[in-house]
Amino acid sequence: MAWINDARYRAVFYQVLAIAAVAALTWSMFATASANLAKQDIATGFGYLSRQAGFVISEAAIDYKPTDSVGRALLVGIANTVKVSLLAALFGTVVGFAVGIGRMSRNPLLQRLMLSYIELLRNVPLLLYLLFWYALIINVLPPVRSALTIGPHVYLSNSGLALPAFSLDGGWVMPLAALVAGLGMAFAVRRVSLRRRLATGRVNAGGWIALAVAVLPLAAVWLAGGLAVTWDIPEAGRFRITGGAQVRPEFVALLFGLALSVSATVAEIVRAGIQAVGKGQWEAASALGLPRRRTMRLVVLPQAMRLMVPPLTNTYLTVFKNSSLAIAIGYPDLVMVSNTVMNQTGQAMETIAIFMAVYLGLSVAISLVMNWYNQRVALKER
């Protein structure tokens, strides 16, 4: 009976046991669920996706009308989720970097102010903030007829933000191509000028040339008449604002809340990254005569970036998942649209499976993009 004490056989036995247990559990849950569903007369399968949705979505990032299919409605939810997460990550990162650097300032007042900003955001639940901003917009901002004018043709009221919108008569293709071409050329010019500067040690006008090159193609398109812009100006009426781009209060509250929460996390990541860069780097830069701000920009931050990428990845994954709190204030993100679909069709299993799969898939996608960036900034060991 020596085989009973053999670690190899034991390992196989435990693994078979684990797989069998999981399989049995899954099977029994599935069997009970299908029996229960059959009893409640709820259909199964994904056929309902092509049925007509029949409900209104208050805000859609892609075209949608109630006569579209359920699948299309879910797609609108996905688009809305992606839109708000991307914008929140973008704004949050910009603000977070500023706050994080301010947190490292030698001015004690600024340092403490930034610290309290971070602490206030990190110690109160995000959901509470979202509800708070939403309540603030609805209750404290004036109604439409006395909307605040916060810029030419920009109106803020308790039914949201109205901005001038523009459309291009000649289509988007030419201007966009010109923009991309300009940016590509500018990037090339900058590389050449940087290499020349490293070789000769002399400051050159590369930055200005790059700037000029960047706008040149766009200017050419404009002069050729390919950039005719039509503005859609919002008009303040007595009961509603018509025209322009209308941003609903749910979206404003969600974006604001998510961006603030991202900014606090990013600020802490930036601080940790800066602190992790050795003191010798500051001293060496100072010995070379670099002022503090340039040391930060040219010596410390590039090194800190490397350390910041993995936690930043986590932050972006978190904001993307946290955007699901939208359901609490009524922004039609993926979870909220799914919830409506569940209530209408009763097909909870399939709908939950879909939105979990979407979240998982997008999480993996974000991880991949950030890993690619991580490899770019990582220390090249030769």
Partner 1 sequence: MTDLPLSMDRQSPPLRRSGWTRTWFGTPLNSAITLVCVATLLFLAKEAIGWLFLHATFEGTPETCKAASGACWPFLTAKLRYMLFGFYPYEEQWRPLAALLLFFGGALASMAPSLWGRALLAAWAFVLVPALAVLMAGGVFGLAYVPTTQWGGLPLSFMLAFIGLAIALPLGIGLALSRISAMPAIRMLAIGFIEVVRGVPLISILFMATVMLPLFMPDGVTIGKLLRAQVAIIIFAAAYIAEIVRGGLQDVPKGQAEAGSALGLGYWLVMRKIVLPQAIKKVIPPLVALFIGFFQDTTLVTIIGLVDFLDTVRSAMRDPAWQGIAVLEGYLFAAAVYFVFSALMGAYSRFLERHFRTTQD
If the CB atoms of residues 67 and 123 are measured against partner 1, the closer one turns out to be: 123
**Chosen residue from 105, 281, 313, 374 binding partner 1 by CB under 8 A:** 105
How far apart are alpha carbons 174 and 224 in whole angstroms?
A: 11
Contacts of 382 (CB under 8 A, 6+ apart): none
**Chosen residue from 290, 305, 307, 377 binding partner 1 by CB under 8 A:** 290
Read off the tokens for 78: 């996905």
Q: Does 185 bind partner 1 (CB under 8 A)?
A: no
Q: Does 256 bind partner 1 (CB under 8 A)?
A: no
Q: Does 289 bind partner 1 (CB under 8 A)?
A: yes
Q: Does 188 bind partner 1 (CB under 8 A)?
A: no
Q: Does 101 bind partner 1 (CB under 8 A)?
A: no
Contacts with partner 1: how many residues (CB under 8 A)?
65
Task: Please report how many Cα atoms fall inside a 13 Å half-sphere around the Cα of residue 78, on the Cβ side.
Answer: 17
Q: Does 301 bind partner 1 (CB under 8 A)?
A: no
**Chosen residue from 141, 144, 161, 325 binding partner 1 by CB under 8 A:** 325
Binding mask 192-211 for partner 1 (x = CB under 8 A): -----xx--xxx--------
**Short-list 377, 381, 331, 283, CA closest to 87:** 331
Q: Does 126 bind partner 1 (CB under 8 A)?
A: yes
Q: Does 23 bind partner 1 (CB under 8 A)?
A: no
Least separation in angstroms between CB 186 and partner 1: 22
Alpha-helix residue ranges (DSSP H) falling in the chain:
7-39, 70-103, 108-122, 126-140, 173-200, 206-223, 249-276, 279-287, 292-294, 301-322, 334-345, 348-377
If the CB atoms of residues 229 and 360 are measured against partner 1, the closer one turns out to be: 360
How far apart are alpha carbons 298 and 305 in whole angstroms?
A: 12
If the CB atoms of residues 16 and 176 are measured against partner 1, the closer one turns out to be: 16
Q: Are 124 and 117 in contact (CB under 8 A)?
A: no
Q: Does 118 bind partner 1 (CB under 8 A)?
A: no
If the CB atoms of residues 26 and 52 are measured against partner 1, the closer one turns out to be: 26
**Chosen residue from 2, 41, 108, 150 binding partner 1 by CB under 8 A:** 108
Type and span of the H or E element at 162: strand 160-163
Q: Does 120 bind partner 1 (CB under 8 A)?
A: yes
SS3 382: coil
SS3 169: coil
Type and span of the H or E element at 165: strand 165-168
**Short-list 20, 21, 241, 222, CA closest to 145:** 241
Instruction: Please return the burial class of 291, using the count of CB atoms within 10 Å of its CB with bins 0-12, 13-18 and 19+.
Output: exposed
Say how many C-beta atoms besides its own lie within 10 A of residue 306's C-beta: 15
If the CB atoms of residues 59 and 333 are measured against partner 1, the closer one turns out to be: 333
Task: Choose the binding region for partner 1 from 143-151, 152-160, 305-313, 342-350 (rule: CB under 8 A).
Answer: 342-350
**Site residues for partner 1 per CB under 8 A:** 11, 14-16, 18-19, 22, 29, 32-33, 36-37, 105-110, 113, 119-120, 122-129, 131-132, 135-136, 139-140, 197-198, 201-203, 288-292, 294, 317, 321-322, 324-325, 327-328, 335, 339, 342, 348-349, 352, 355-356, 359-360, 363-364
